[in-house]
Structure 1
Amino acid sequence: MSRILTVTLNPALDLTTGVARLEEGRKMRCEPPQMDPGGGGANVSRAIRKLGGASEAFICTGAPLGTTYRERFAAEGLAAIWHDCGVPTRQSIAVHDRATGGQYRFVFPGELWGEPVWQGALDALTAAMRPGDLVVLSGSQPPGVPEDFPRRLCAMAGRVGAKVIVDTSGRPLEVAAQPNTGAHVLRMDHYEGMELMGWTEFGPREAETLARELVDRGAAEIAIVTLGGDGAWAATAEEAWHCAPPAVEVLSSTGAGDSFVAALSIGLSDGRPFVEAIAFAVAAAADAVTTPGTDLCTLDGTLEKLARVTRARF
């Protein structure tokens, strides 16, 4: 079994609240906020724990919110390697409109990182990696971090003997999707895939095409494209599968992607058959959308949905 090391360069202290109704120009009384340590890699570690697995989280934080972030993360009993980057930790806000059931998310970009900051983070992360690790780079990058950071990380991991799952967006994803990035896994959702390819529509055919193309061009050993309730298309040089979840009632889409990556990481770390690792990930994402707010997947819910995930080669 491989150690799972999640990476969060741009964590956020997530505040979730609700109002009776969102109305322009009016003072709206909010419910008491729920405060959670967020950010892609951190949420992956949280979901791994909920699924009965274990990981270590490499997280960059800075005061003053960084102190609160560490306390909240530690309170969940999660193992972490803390890197004080000297840059204040950001915050994000999610507001539920109780009248309509809608959720509105406000995500701040974070402070600018200069070269000494991001290079220091890369050096500390490289020192934290061990041979055989499965390194999960998930979430956004702080402003100022080079667009090719995923490629740099993959190169350093390769020298150590570790493998990297890349789950990012924007220009870093575009760079990561180029040939010979060195990623073990490249994962994206259909919105990211549409932006990456410049397509105006995106359905099952496009998901299948993109997964195959990413592997063919050498962007990653495994390429995964997710399409909401339609599931995931995953390809390697040897095989390709479409795994679809059962129909569920969606309460909140927040955390579905992180739950997917968490279950995928467990499956790959455990050495499960490729299709079963993908099916487990699809089940975790399906369970996550049935939980409120920023809550992630649950083990019982994931296992129940796993039994109803369909698997088909493409």
Structure 2
Amino acid sequence: MRPILTVTVNPALDISSSIDRVTTDRKLRCGPTRRGPGGGGVNVARVVQRLGGQALAVYAVGGPSGDAYRQLIEAERLPAVAVPIAGSTRESFTVDETSTEKQYRFVLQGPELSEAEWRACLAAVEQSIPVGGYVVASGSLPPGVPSDFYARVARLTRARDARCLVDASGPALAEALAEGVFLVKPSRRELAEHVGAELDTEQSQVAAASALVAQGAAEFVALSLGAAGAVLASRTGIIRLPVPRVHVRSTVGAGDSFVGAFVLRVAQGRDPEEAFRAAVAAGTATTMTPGTELCRRDDVERLEAELAARGD
């Protein structure tokens, strides 16, 4: 398979737990605690590894929480390049309310990066880009990092004859699209914000995704629509897939799993339709797991087969 590199400048130490009911004005004593290394690109690399592939993860890290984060990465034996920063790696806290199956997610702001630090991240990416491979730039940008950071990554990627996939929102997404990328994966809300329209019908959603392809902003636009399924737009047309019916426990990491499965399959030489099917399967499989846990390989392969059977 072709090599894969992922980029994460705002990783998060994910902490998750559960409680019977969330209430105010008293101590809430939670159940067992789970910790994991989160953040867009790192999660993508973890999913690639879980599904039998391998990706190199470049990530910024610092402070005591960063030390814990780095240990978790090492424990998973994930190939990685850690770029040290002065600030402390952010944390996120997810609580599942077992009595209602509601989920509460608290995501802290990342540390501010100096110009020297974000440029060091960019340099690490440039040195690691696999010629002819794939680069996934995913997740939010922390304070201090310019909105065109992913566009710069896309430019460097193109110079190495590699393909860049971007999962971002707001100005970071707009700048990347202006540069031109291989794939973007917006949600309906993120795409609506980008085009400045509601996109409250399937026709408007497909039209907006197709317009990005026609403009040369992206070769593929994977539009995730939650329970309504997903759409893949390209120059060859539109592919729609439903979401398999499963018991949803948590949506944390579902988008990262989607991207991880897609990039793995195209790196393996599969066609876009197969990659899209794997992506929907992986995103769905992740919703079956609690807290911040990612997809399991057997669930992904089972759901892939189920989606393939529907298409036959």
**Same fold by TM-score greater than 0.5:** yes
Q: C-alpha distance in 1, partners of 2:21/2:258?
A: 31
Q: C-alpha distance in 2, partners of 1:311/1:239?
A: 21
Task: Say whether the 8 Å CA contact 1:275–1:311 is kept in structure 2.
Answer: no
Cα deviations by residue, 1:267-299 (Å, 9 ceiling, x for unpaired): 110111111111111111111111111111111
* Percent identical residues: 38
Task: Return 233-242 or 62-71, whichever deviates more.
Answer: 233-242
Q: 1:289 is matched with which residue: 287, 290, 297?
A: 287
Q: Shift in Å at residue 182 of structure 1?
A: 2.6
Task: Say whether the 8 Å CA contact 2:59–2:121 is kept in structure 1.
Answer: no
Q: List, as ranges, runs of 4+ consecutive aligned residues in structure 1 with deviation greater than 4 Å.
A: 310-313
Q: Shift in Å at residue 310 of structure 1?
A: 6.3
SS of equivalent residue, structure 2 residue 35: strand
Q: C-alpha distance in 2, partners of 1:233/1:311?
A: 18
Q: How does 1:61-140 map to 2 (within 5 A)?
A: 61-140=61-140
Gaps of 5+ in 2: none
Q: C-alpha distance in 2, partners of 1:199/1:65?
A: 39
Task: Say whether the 8 Å CA contact 2:248–2:288 is kept in structure 1.
Answer: yes
Paired residue total: 311
RMSD between aligned alpha carbons?
1.8
Q: How does 1:256-267 map to 2 (within 5 A)?
A: 256-267=254-265
Change (3 A) 1:287 1:100: same
Q: Shift in Å at residue 191 of structure 1?
A: 2.0
Task: Say whether the 8 Å CA contact 1:224–1:235 is kept in structure 2.
Answer: yes
Tell me if 1:207 matches 2:225: no
Q: Shift in Å at residue 122 of structure 1?
A: 0.7
Q: Which residue pairs with 1:307 in the alignment?
A: 305
Output the amino acid matched with 2:200: F
Q: Which residue pairs with 1:183 in the alignment?
A: 181
Q: C-alpha distance in 1, partners of 2:55/2:45?
A: 6
Task: Say whether the 8 Å CA contact 2:58–2:124 is kept in structure 1.
Answer: no
Q: Shift in Å at residue 48 of structure 1?
A: 1.3
Output the amino acid matched with 1:56: L
Gaps of 5+ in 1: none
Q: C-alpha distance in 1, partners of 2:25/2:195?
A: 39
Q: Which residue pairs with 2:38 in the alignment?
A: 38
Q: C-alpha distance in 1, partners of 2:197/2:88?
A: 37
SS of equivalent residue, structure 1 residue 308: helix
Change (3 A) 1:32 1:247: closer
